[in-house]
Amino acid sequence: MRKLREECGVFGLRAPVRGNVAELTFAGLLALQHRGQESCGIVVNDDGVLSGHKDLGLVREVFSPPILDALGQGEMAVGHVRYGTTGGTDRRNAQPLVVNHVKGSMALAHNGNLVNAYALRRELELKGAIFHTTSDTEVISYLITQARLTEPSIEAAVRTAMPRLEGAYSLVILSPAKLLAVRDPHGLRPLCFGQRPDGTFVVASESCALTAVGADFCRDIAPGEVAVFDGQGVRSLTDACGTRNRTACIFEYIYFARPDSVLDGVGVHAARVRAGEILARTCPAKADVVIGVPDSGLDAAVGYARAAGLPYETGFVKNRYVGRTFIAPGQAMRERMVDVKLSVIREAVAGKRVVLIDDSVVRGTTSARIVKKLRAAGATQVHLRLTAPPFVAPCYYGTDIPDDSRLIAAHHTLEEVRDLIGCDSLGFLDRDRLGELIEARDGYCDACFGGSYPAGRPAVTEKYRFERKRSRRKE
């Protein structure tokens, strides 16, 4: 495992008139492809009738022109790109999830992870609920449709269900008449909305997806907010806002988000440059050149070079047809993809002492391979600097690390990690400096670096907890 394995991206839109909303959603999902490369899906609402397509694979692979044409016209749509943190790689776990119930129909796409999904699912199953997927998203859909039986509207049903959901969730929900954007009270995962010149409202995990479809950024969805987009425009339900401390995931800024995105008022590029500048001051190295590991290490490398007064060089050529290795299934495949993905530019490093900037070390195997590549290209020294503190604890809010068994820093000293990776020196960002990345505008979650868990911890932590073999279950 190279990185912590997150993530999902959600997208939704509501147009003032009927049009080709599937194509816009396709463009939005392409902009969010970095958040999930396992599966994807689009659901279109055409005058209250929901139709969709989803499958395993990348957005361009799943949605050929004939499939997009078959989705037809509509007024609203939702889309999703997935890397699963609960449930396996299976087409049935692809999203958006479509539910038909007595009050109508609903499509739901989810980014995040519930810590009480196991208990909720068990409770629902004992009441006769039948589940068709092994993801926690279906648990959310059950609670909402259950509440819809007695509540007068979809937004009221969502508000009734929210207090029962513990953990991280940013949702886009499509009903026959409305588009909803929902963010958990901690604001653990990002969500924002914008508007196109033609009046179309667009909701997305990151602002880069708004730009991709020609929408101007309006604002972030507030933690605890339910934003409702209907024929009258947008209105907001905020009674759950402020009920929890705001603790957005700090690793969004370090790695997950695209550098051209702005999350909760903080530019990702600027946050990464600041991380590099901090590292230059706290972990200096006698070196000749600074290079970054594409893509999340590049901005930080610029900041490090600037603060250290060292030249910045492009040290790697990246194969753009290979996706993010941390969300490729299987450790052996991820390691092979690293070799295919990155090639060293020999002229940039040969005969030089190199500062190598990357975002993190999880298991350490990929970092070791990259260091070895640099030495083979002629680098005389390699000083590895990471823009994240050491990972010493699992994350339960949308990142696929259920325990610390595969976290190298949880079981080795700094010197041991350095020796295992094979670099000449090793430096991590100080955990106490994390707030400087976002200029301490709000609170943040740093549980994976040894902090507390703001939204609690799950009783059962297995990713495949709903897929266990009979021999492993407690009957």
| Exposed/middle/buried for residue 199 (C-beta within 10 Å: 0-12, 13-18, 19+) | exposed
Quote the tokens at residue 456. 């609690």
User: Quick check: is 208 catalytic?
Assistant: no
**Distant-in-sequence, close-in-space partners of 394: CB < 8 Å, separation ≥ 6:** 401, 402, 403, 404, 407, 448, 461
Alpha-carbon torsion (452, 455, 456, 458), positive or negative: negative
Q: Are strands 342-344 and 353-358 parallel, antiparallel or unpaired?
A: unpaired
Tell me, rounded to whole angstroms, the distance of Cα 449 from its chain centroid. 17
Length of the chain (residues): 475
Q: Residue 68 and residue 48: Cα distance in Å, rounded?
A: 19
Residue 124: its H or E element: helix 117-126
With CA atoms as reference, report the closest residue to 336 among 347, 348, 328, 344: 328
| 7 contacts 399 by C-beta, under 8 angstroms | yes
In order of 7, 51, 88, 115, 187, the CA distances from 134 in angstroms are 16, 22, 7, 15, 24
What are the residue numbers of the active site?
Answer: 8
